[in-house]
Amino acid sequence: MEREGSWTRREFLRRTAPLAALLGLAGRAFPARASAIGPVPGTDGFRWRSVSARRVGELRDWMDKLDREGRLSADKTWRGYIGSFQYAPPPGMQDACSLVIMSVPLANAAITFRVSGRRRQVWVPSGYADDGRGLDDFRGLLYAAGIVAGDEDLPRARLPLKQLAVRSGLAAYGRNNIAYVDGFGSFHQLVAFYSRRPLEDHWGALRMLPECKGCTVCLRECPTGAIRSQDFVIDPARCLTLFNELPAPMPAWVPATAHNALVGCLKCQLRCPANEAVKARTLDLGEVPEAETAALLSGRISAPLAQTLKKRLSRISGGEDLSYISRNLKLVLGAAGPELGTRP
Ligand code: B12
Ligand code: SF4
Ligand code: SF4
């Protein structure tokens, strides 16, 4: 889910930075279309905030507090993710002044499989469909908007990004523990960079999305009980995504009807009232013909067909691993679950 970037567009964007600054584009949103990045249709722009780099300790303190209170899962896979945070600037950046947190809008995608003469559309949630943009494109947006100097390295900050986004005022937490940004809902990617430029320190308390007050849609929609009424922190060890992102067998306790996407899960986001205005944005990832779908489902895939399928699935995170896609496709088609159009 965390995408690494190529450096291909960096030079272009560095060169355009002074012009963008001159045009007054150095504010909250920069029109990505002007950056030649090829944005997701209907999702122009990005949003950003800064906090002082000294705040990293406070991010860790909050996590430690939750842990001491017994609110964090002991699940090993999840602990592995959380354990990879680095609460200090990387080597060579000890003089970093600021953290820049960016939110880049994304669209959900759908891919169609032909099965028994029918078209079955399957969700590929935002973040799992490659739109061709990577970290360097995001850095390029910051250079082009004049937020940071064009010759800054901007090392990536490996931090709890939702907490950082909410503390900075860029986002608010939904009850589903996903971060919501004005205009993008929950469908966006977060990324943070260290900068030597002293930027404003927008630090504040954690905020819940106002729409969550009195709403329990995501709590009811979650097919595995990960969202809890007694604790705002979700139970990641009950979250479908923790399991279907990995090739290991699906735990037996997961209901067969829970599966609703080729990877990840969209249940707690699609019916969320705070996503009403943005959920219609959908990318089409094409169609897999009947014979190829059948081969994928049976696991009997010749070498040439494997090449064809990998190409068709190349925009999907994990698409090069056909056995993993096959496992997830069987689960999602087997679920009594919904097809695109009837919205899971
Ligand atoms: C580990 C991880 C996972 C794990 C565990 C999720 C989790 N909640 O921890 C798994 C694999 C299950 C997962 C699933 C998904 N993930 Co994920 N994941 C991450 C990762 C690496 C860390 C998240 C983290 O910090 N967890 C630690 C927990 C303790 O923190 P938290 O979730 O922010 O919870 C906070 C609140 O509970 C708050 N809190 C406690 N009490 C209270 C009370 C109140 C009133 C308030 C307001 C807050 C509050 O305290 C906690 C810490 O701040 C980030 C990338 C990154 N570097 O940050 C991506 C990331 C969070 N994932 C992302 C996405 C898109 C998803 C999925 C939507 C993918 C999908 N479609 O299936 C699901 C959503 C599941 C969910 N409901 O959270 C995006 C989220 C973008 C966004 N819009 O917010 C991120 C940021 C990746 C990215 N670079 O864009 N993910
Ligand atoms: S579904 Fe309701 S409670 Fe859940 S995140 Fe959206 S607004 Fe908040
Ligand atoms: S992503 Fe799916 S399983 Fe995870 S909390 Fe949301 S609805 Fe529940």
pLDDT digits (tens, 9 = 90+) for 35-83: 222 344 444 589 999 999 999 999 999 999 999 999 999 999 999 999 9
- Going from the C-alpha of 338 to that of each of 14, 258, 335, the distances in angstroms are 45, 10, 8
Predicted local distance difference test score (pLDDT) of residue 44: 54
Predicted local distance difference test score (pLDDT) of residue 45: 86
Q: Does residue 186 line the site of ligand 2, with CB under 6 A?
A: no
Q: Does residue 279 line the site of ligand 2, with CB under 6 A?
A: no
CA of 218, closest atom in ligand 3: 7
Q: What is the Cβ-side half-sphere exposure of residue 203, based on CA atoms within 13 angstroms?
A: 13
Q: Does residue 65 line the site of ligand 1, with CB under 6 A?
A: no
User: By the 8 A CB rule, do 237 and 73 touch?
Assistant: yes
Please check the confidence at residue 292 and state whether its pLDDT lies above 80.
yes
- Residue 202: exposed, middle, or buried by beta-carbon count in 10 A (0-12, 13-18, 19+)? middle
Q: Does residue 78 line the site of ligand 1, with CB under 6 A?
A: yes
User: By the 8 A CB rule, do 232 and 305 touch?
Assistant: no
pLDDT over 90, % of the chain: 78
**pTM of the predicted model as reported, rounded to 2 decimal places:** 0.90
Ligand 2 mean position, distance from CA 268 (Å): 8
Going by CA atoms, what residue is nearest to atom 4 of ligand 2? 218
Among 187, 268, 272, 343, say which to mutate for ligand 3: greatest number of ligand atoms within 8 Å of CB. 268
Going by CA atoms, what residue is nearest to atom 4 of ligand 3? 239
Convert the pLDDT of each residue in 194-225 to its tens digit. 999 999 999 999 999 999 999 999 999 999 99
Ligand 3 site residues, Cβ closer than 6 angstroms: 176, 221-222, 224, 226-227, 234, 239-241, 265, 267-268
Going by CA atoms, what residue is nearest to atom 6 of ligand 2? 272
Residue 209 to residue 186: CA distance in whole angstroms: 11
Domain boundaries of the chain, sorted by first residue? 10-334
CA of 174, closest atom in ligand 2: 5
Convert the pLDDT of each residue in 298-329 to its tens digit. 999 999 999 999 999 999 998 999 999 999 99
pLDDT band at 342, cuts 50/70/90?
very low
Q: Does residue 75 line the site of ligand 1, with CB under 6 A?
A: no
Ligand 1 mean position, distance from CA 108 (Å): 17
Measured over the CA atoms of residue 187, residue 191, residue 168 and residue 20, the dihedral's sign is negative
Other CB atoms closer than 10 Å to residue 67's CB: what's the count? Answer: 13
Query: Chain-wide mean pLDDT for the chain?
Result: 86
